[in-house]
Amino acid sequence: MTGQLDSIYEVARRSFLRSMRQPAAFVPAIVFPLFLLAVNSAGLDAATGIPGFPTDSYVTFALAIPFIQGGTFTLLNSGTDLATDIETGFLNRMAMTPLGGPALLAGMLGGSMAIALIQTAFYIAIGFTVGADFAAGAAGVPMLFLLSLVICFAFSCVGVFTALRVGTGEAMQSMFPVFFVFLFFSSMAMPRDLIEQDWFRTVATINPLSYLIEGIRSLYVVGFDWEALGLAFGVSAILIAVFLSLAAASLRTTLVRT
Amino acid sequence: MSGGAGFWGVARAVAWRSTHNFVTNPALVLPAMIFPLFFFGAFAGGLSNIDSSPGFDYPNGYTAFEFGFVLMQASAFGGVFTGFGIARDFESGFGRRLMLAAPNRLGILGGYVISSLIRALMVMTLLFAIGLLAGMDVSSNLPELVTLIGLALFLNFAIGMWAAGIALRFRSIQAGPLMQTPVFLILFLTPVYVPRELLSSWVQDVARFNPVTPVIEASRSLIAGSHDGLLLAFACVGALVLLFGISAVTGMRDAEASG
Amino acid sequence: MSESASEWAIEVEGLTQKFRKGPLAVDGIDLHVERGEIYGFLGPNGAGKSTTVLMLTTLLPPTGGVARVGGFDIAREGGRVRSVIGAALQEAALDAHLTAREHMRLQTALQGVPKPERRARGDELIERVGLAEAADRKVGGYSGGMKRRLDLALALVHGPEILFLDEPTTGLDPQSRSSLWEEVERLADDEGMTVFLTTQYLEEADRLADRVGIIDRGKIVAEGTPAMLKAEVGEPSVSARAADPSDRGRLVEVLGRFGSASGPEDEDAAWVRLDPGCGGLVEVVRALDAEGLQVADLQLHEPTLDDVFLEKTGRKLEGAGEEQGDESGEFEAVSA
């Protein structure tokens, strides 16, 4: 057991180091969401004047978005790393060791979580730096960490599964616009009940990303809104259950060792 | 062969090949068509309630307001995609073949530009169709519509020159982010979602000095049947054309010098 | 050491791999590799070498036949097989963003080397393959030869009894190739390691292998020591090219007096494998002279492993792979 934990730690460490050594993959995950946050919160500040808008600070409202965008980058990076391992044969190298498939998966996801932890801490710090409200108070910070990490974990599972299906880093990167579409057609920029167009509101309502954004947003805007938090954790749990199972099954197929 | 004839002969051939590649390759045509529609849907659909915020006084509604931005954005990104095509051609060695075969090498650049304008027209036609189907309120008359399309094509030309300058210097698709990111930044530092006066302080300041802001504002004016800021918009794009045109031509000389 | 008392390091009977909608990549092969020997598995691209290695290293379940590696069944005892083997597969599977030392750290941990021994084991192997100076540099900047050497070192971290090397020198410069050969020889000679080496290079098989198995289109067409195989082919061959192409018929007839026609299909040249006691090249020259045949080119060929391949398949080894498609491509098509 200790040996397996040790191996999981080493796989996670390698995954973490590798990501940190690719600024081209890591830096956009930090900079791009901040750019959009800055532009959106400045451009859409007028929206806080719409009757029923839940806060008078658009930056407070929009701060949930970088967490989700960061999660999207976690998804892409974990997926691309795994796809590259498949392409280069590195996965075969690991498959020839006594390490089991679940332990390998745990190691890879562990590395992604370490990156997600840094991203989360960074976004929280940015929130405080720009003077956003944080309605949940000090007790909400651990909850924010927990929810953000659970969301990133769910996204990593999607990334790992997708990588195992598409098999190449290039194909994985080309999935980026798909995740972008999910993000833009959610309640990212406007509360769902204030979305005027029926078709858009319907799309945002069936889009699971809306609930993840609203869970994080609730801590900034409302405080402990257990319904929003429950939905965010619930949707994350469903994503994890579905995509972790699919990833484990795909990994068994990919690691067709006897 | 005279220099002029050489230029147009080469430009026609390169434009045909580049346009043919575009229309027969789904990997090129789909993103070019879908991305503008995606932004149009996301902005006009998701944020339409913003027109009820205090101070929002655009007369033709939020769909038309966002259409003005998306039209110019699609045009600008069409120019970026042209740069991608040039970079890909030089990376694969096809660019060198063109350089060897073309009596007038500036004709190569001309060909890419013509192809870019054709592609932009295709994307704009689709955007107009979707916009009208979505119930967009257009108050412009025919000359104003033609001017709007002319402004969009002029912007496409300017950004195409920018991307070509980068592509011809780096001659690798690895330079893609260098072509794309500044265009993305400059576009999103304009009044994307609301009129300039409703922007919060720092973005308002940036937008005031952003040369693309007058272009976005003029496009919205034209859709609303007004000519406000039209001269300034054309002057700004004209300046960009001059600046990036020099960059593209010197880029071509750079490519020639590198063999 | 393996718990098995088998005298063979590798025993294979009827091993088969049939890919979906594809041909039989490996068609019921039998082979036995003794402990401590270097076994060269020679064949053109697409012959089935890499597929065989993937099966023997447990990365690809066979669709038929049985094989035991280190005394363990590859289909039912995959974990135990992996504990006694090391492998450097066709592509040096390395992470460009890690250093050699970091690769060692990961590999020793995954292979279960006790923690206190990991650093020393890694350093020793890095030193042995001549990468000490580059040990803290990221692998992305390594040359092909350095990557191959690191790949080999990684395959050795857990002290395997049997080492699989799949085309270890493909794409390497002569100097890197030579240094890798020396290391493989040292492993077999000094450490008694069994080495199963696939290659498409005759020279490599000739130089390194104690015994050679030649595979073509998924079947083993010859097996034995290089000397034995070459002796089986027998006498040397003679090839001649008529100065006047219209004389080719007469040339074939004259050469036919000295042995059986052999050699590649060639519109200009005629080939014959000399019969024992036929008098050799001297008699051939005399006969051609007596017939008044002018030749543009006349050559004596001592038997090589290529001749063995030619004898068994009717084709030269060089270029044979081009007819057979790309083996790895076939595998990808199936696993996709």
pLDDT of residue A55 exceeding 50, the answer is yes
> Is the Cβ pair B54, A49 closer than 8 Å?
yes
C89: nearest CB among A13, A92, A256: A92
Q: CA–CA separation, C208 vs C41, rounded Å?
A: 11
Total domains, chain A: 1
Confidence of residue C5 (pLDDT cuts 50, 70, 90): low
Q: What pLDDT is stored for residue C327 in this prediction? A: 45
Q: What pLDDT is stored for residue C153 in this prediction? A: 92
**Closest Cα in chain B, distance from residue A254 (Å):** 28
Q: What H or E segment, with its residue span, contains residue C259? A: strand C259-261
What residues of chain B lie within 8 A of the CB of A41, using their CB? Answer: 200
B45 touching A (Cβ < 8 Å) = yes
Q: CA–CA separation, C52 vs C31, rounded Å?
A: 11
pLDDT of residue C328 exceeding 60, the answer is no
Query: Are the CB atoms for C41 and C210 separated by under 8 Å?
Result: no
Q: CA–CA separation, A56 vs A131, rounded Å?
A: 13
Amino acid, res. C208: L
pLDDT tens digits, residue range C139-198? Answer: 988 988 899 899 999 999 998 999 999 988 887 888 888 888 998 999 999 889 999 999
Closest CA to C18 of C8, C6, C31, C27: C27
Query: Are the CB atoms for A159 and A75 separated by under 8 Å?
Result: yes
Number of A–B residue contacts, CB under 8 Å: 84
> Is the Cβ pair A49, B42 closer than 8 Å?
no
Work out the number of other CB atoms within 10 angstroms of the CB of residue A154.
Answer: 26
Query: Are the CB atoms for B193 and B171 separated by under 8 Å?
Result: no
> Is the Cβ pair C109, A7 closer than 8 Å?
yes
Q: Which range of residues forms the domain containing residue A233? A: 2-254
Spell out the SS3 assignment of chain B.
CCHHHHHHHHHHHHHHHHHHHHHHCHHHHHHHHHHHHHHHHHHHHHCHHHHHCCCCCCCCHHHHHHHHHHHHHHHHHHHHHHHHHHHHHHHHCHHHHHHHHCCCCHHHHHHHHHHHHHHHHHHHHHHHHHHHHCCCCCCCCHHHHHHHHHHHHHHHHHHHHHHHHHHHHHCCHHHHHHHHHHHHHHHHCCCCCCCHHHCCHHHHHHHHHCCCHHHHHHHHHHHCCCCCCHHHHHHHHHHHHHHHHHHHHHHHHHHHHCC
For the residues of A60-126, what is the DSSP string, one character each? HHHTHHHHHHHHHHHHHHHHHHHHHHHHHTHHHHHHTSS--HHHHHHHHHHHHHHHHHHHHHHHHHH
Q: What H or E segment, with its residue span, contains residue C306? A: helix C305-313
> Is the Cβ pair C115, A88 closer than 8 Å?
no
Q: What pLDDT is stored for residue C336 in this prediction? A: 24
**Chain centroid, CA B34 distance in Å:** 15
Percent of chain A with pLDDT over 90: 48
Strands of the sheet containing C162-166, edge to edge, are C85-88, C162-166, C194-199, C38-42, C211-216, C219-224
Q: CA–CA separation, A154 vs C158, rounded Å?
A: 35
Q: CA–CA separation, C253 vs C245, rounded Å?
A: 14
pLDDT of residue A254 exceeding 80, the answer is no
pLDDT tens digits, residue range A172-201? Answer: 776 777 777 888 899 998 999 999 889 999
For the residues of chain A, what is the DSSP string, one character each? -HHHHHHHHHHHHHHHHHHHT-HHHHHHHHHHHHHHHHHHHHHSGGGGGSTT-S-S-HHHHHTHHHHHHHHHHHHHHHHHHHHHHHHHTHHHHHHTSS--HHHHHHHHHHHHHHHHHHHHHHHHHHHHHTT---TT-TTHHHHHHHHHHHHHHHHHHHHHHHHHHH-SHHHHHTTHHHHHHHHHTSSSSS-GGG---HHHHHHHHH-HHHHHHHHHHHHHHTS--HHHHHHHHHHHHHHHHHHHHHHHHHHHHHS---
The answer for A 112-141 residues in CB contact with B (under 8 A) is none
Using CA atoms, how far residue C322 sits from C326, C330, C332, in Å, is 8, 14, 18
pLDDT of residue A108 exceeding 80, the answer is yes
Q: What pLDDT is stored for residue C323 in this prediction? A: 47
In 3-state terms, what secondary structure has residue C8?
A: strand
Q: What H or E segment, with its residue span, contains residue C11? A: strand C8-18
**Closest Cα in chain A, distance from residue B49 (Å):** 5
**Closest Cα in chain C, distance from residue A146 (Å):** 29
Task: Give the nearest chain A residue to C62 (CA atoms).
Answer: A258
In 3-state terms, what secondary structure has residue C66?
A: strand
Query: Are the CB atoms for B161 and B244 separated by under 8 Å?
Result: yes
> Is the Cβ pair A181, B38 closer than 8 Å?
yes
Please state whether the predicted TM-score (pTM) of the whole model is above 0.80.
no
> Is the Cβ pair A44, B202 closer than 8 Å?
no
Running DSSP on this structure, what letter comes out for residue C37?
A: -
pLDDT of residue C1 exceeding 80, the answer is no
Q: What pLDDT is stored for residue A256 in this prediction? A: 62
How many residues comprise chain A?
258
- Rounded to two decimals, the ipTM of the complex is 0.79
Most confident of A100-104, B57-61, C21-25: B57-61
Query: Are the CB atoms for A217 and A64 separated by under 8 Å?
Result: yes
> Is the Cβ pair A21, C58 closer than 8 Å?
no
> Is the Cβ pair A93, C154 closer than 8 Å?
yes
Q: What mean pLDDT comes out for the span B189-199? A: 89
Task: Give the nearest chain A residue to B53 (CA atoms).
Answer: A50
> Is the Cβ pair A257, C58 closer than 8 Å?
yes
For the residues of C129-188, what is the DSSP string, one character each? TT-GGGTTSBGGG--HHHHHHHHHHHHTTT--SEEEEESTTTT--HHHHHHHHHHHHHHH
pLDDT tens digits, residue range B99-147? Answer: 777 677 788 888 999 999 999 999 999 999 999 998 888 898 999 999 9
Q: What pLDDT is stored for residue C14 in this prediction? A: 94
Using CA atoms, how far residue A129 sits from A33, A118, A119, A133, B247, in Å, is 15, 16, 15, 11, 40
Residues 6+ apart with CB under 8 A from C110: A7, A10, A11, A94, A97, A98, A99
Q: What pLDDT is stored for residue C265 in this prediction? A: 59
Pairing between β-strand C194-199 and β-strand C162-166 as defined by DSSP bridges: parallel
pLDDT of residue B20 exceeding 50, the answer is yes
Q: What mean pLDDT comes out for the span A136-158? A: 94
Q: What pLDDT is stored for residue C326 in this prediction? A: 41
Residue B135: beta bridge partners?
none
Q: What pLDDT is stored for residue B108 in this prediction? A: 86
**Closest Cα in chain A, distance from residue B6 (Å):** 39
pLDDT of residue C325 exceeding 50, the answer is no
Return the structure tokens found at B200: 């919060």
Q: What pLDDT is stored for residue C2 in this prediction? A: 44
**Closest Cα in chain C, distance from residue A86 (Å):** 9
What residues of chain A lie within 8 A of the CB of C85, using their CB? Answer: 96
Q: What pLDDT is stored for residue B259 in this prediction? A: 62
pLDDT of residue B242 exceeding 60, the answer is yes
Work out the number of other CB atoms within 10 angstroms of the CB of residue A105.
Answer: 21
Q: What mean pLDDT comes out for the span A115-130? A: 92
pLDDT tens digits, residue range C240-276? Answer: 888 888 888 888 888 888 887 766 656 677 888 777 7
Running DSSP on this structure, what letter comes out for residue C247?
A: G
Q: What pLDDT is stored for residue C136 in this prediction? A: 94
Residue C40: beta bridge partners?
C197, C212
Residues 6+ apart with CB under 8 A from B131: B40, B63, B64, B67, B138
Confidence of residue A258 (pLDDT cuts 50, 70, 90): low
Q: What pLDDT is stored for residue A242 in this prediction? A: 96
Q: What pLDDT is stored for residue B88 in this prediction? A: 83
Q: CA–CA separation, C8 vs C68, rounded Å?
A: 9
> Is the Cβ pair A22, C97 closer than 8 Å?
yes
Using CB atoms within 10 A of its CB, is residue A156 exposed (0-12), middle (13-18) or buried (19+)?
buried
B186 touching A (Cβ < 8 Å) = no
